[in-house]
Amino acid sequence: MYLADISRLNQGQVLGKSLYDENSKLLLAAGYKISDQIIKLLKKHGFRSVYVSDGLTDEITPEEVISASLRMTSNKLVIETYEEVRNHPSIRKNTALKTLDPEKLKARINDDPKLNHIIRMPEIKNIVENIMDDIISNNISMFAALPIKSDSGKDYEHAVDTTILCILMGRLFDYNWKDLYSLASSALLHDIGKAVIPQVSPKEQEVYYKEHPTYSMLLVQGNDPSGFSKHFTVHHHHEELGGEGYPQGLTAHDISPARRSPTNKSEIFHHAFILSVANYYDNLISGDVDETIYSPEQALQKIISEAGTRWNSYAVQALASVIERYPVGARVKIVEASLQKLKGFVGVVARTNPNKPTQPLIIVTHNPLGNQITPIKIDLANLQNVKLELDR
């Protein structure tokens, strides 16, 4: 199977993986035949791409970083947490006051004791530790997945994917269980402050949006008073080395996240070096930065170009070490190769190559004219000057 853009779906194709709605409820089961009605349903729920089986690449099974059941449970908890915050009487009262400026909203969140038990921290702890255990016990070292996110549910999926990335990256810095848990739980809750932002004009929305790390921090602080590292990590997840980030415009030296930075408000906390990079990467591949959906390779190249100036270079190096440029199930076009006759052919990644991450084994299915051919396996690691691009 392979990942296909919604705009390129055809009637009669078969859904390769089950899809869930924004409430983590089964929307369509794998095996459904694609029809115009199904395509309309997918668009209604904001899906941009889905896995399909085409009879040519059915032997390909995209890899899962965590089990499907754990991902569904994690998504469900994040959804419930957002909704419980958003619908809490104190929050509903505050967000209904559209004249309440961002500073006063911060004060209300900070001063309201009713909000100190709004997040189910024991359940958050349990799900984060389950994700950590799933990754560690299965010796998962790579983020080998392309996002299948719906517009309506992507905030929740973003929280889980960012958590997974942070765990994979944190392990490269030999974080112990306590530090890894602190980083991962910060990632799962880093955007919870978005749930308190009122419905205002787009111009006003931007002002509130740049304060969401503070809202998130205040909510986490109230519900987990002793989790100091979480408070700093959540608060600093949009800060940048050169001081161009927000909400405080903090700066930092380009030091390894393995070195514990001072826990004060004048410098970016070391866990936030990792979270900020993971957060930005997932936003890039999800189309949430400039409405462009970056491929993993494009997103990495953009982040790498800003390493040491905007992003912590050690965290960027860690990100580059855990990302599969062309994951199994990705449909790719051969743009360049030493074997010129392959130029323009399209295939699906069947196996990644750890030693040459941009040169996977692919099953070629279509010629440069778009015509279907008898599938051929080609190990691009045996060729020189290979350049690919995603062909969704």
- Main-chain dihedrals φ then ψ at residue 275, nearest 5 degrees: -60, -40
Span 303-341, pLDDT tens digits: 999 999 999 999 999 999 999 999 999 999 999 988 889
Which amino acid is located at 287 in the chain?
G
Rounded to 5°, the CA angle 320-66-51 comes to 85
Angle at 316 between CA 290 and CA 357, to 5 degrees: 90
In contact, 213 and 246? CB cutoff 8 Å: yes
Q: Which H or E element spans position 365? A: strand 361-366
Burial 326-363 (b: 16+ CB within 10 A, else e): bbbbbbbbbeebeeeebeebbbbbbebbeeebebbbbb
Q: Is the model's pLDDT at 151 over the cut of 70?
A: no
Whether the per-residue pLDDT at 48 is higher than 90: the answer is no
How many H-runs (helices) and E-runs (strands) does the chain carry?
A: 13, 10
Q: Give residue 62's pLDDT band: very low, low, confident or very high (50, 70, 90).
A: confident
Question: Mean pLDDT over residues 245-274, rounded?
Answer: 87
Q: How far apart are CA 139 and CA 188, in angstroms?
A: 21
DSSP of 217-258: HHHHHHH-TT-HHHHHHHHTTT--TBS--SSS--B-----TT
Six token digits for residue 120: 């189910």
Q: Is the dihedral of CA 319, 294, 252, 109 positive or negative?
A: negative
The share of the chain scoring above pLDDT 90, in percent, equals: 63
Q: Which has more confidence, 108 or 211? A: 211
Task: Give the relative orientation of helices 121-137 and 154-171 as an angle to the nearest 10 degrees.
Answer: 50
Dihedral pair phi/psi, residue 190, rounded to 5°: -65, -25
How does the average pLDDT of the chain come out, rounded?
90
Tens digit of pLDDT for each residue in 376-391? 999 999 999 999 998 8
pLDDT digits (tens, 9 = 90+) for 209-251: 999 999 999 999 999 998 999 999 999 999 999 999 999 999 9
Is the pLDDT reported for residue 154 higher than 90? no
- CA-to-CA distance for 321 and 350, rounded, in angstroms? 20
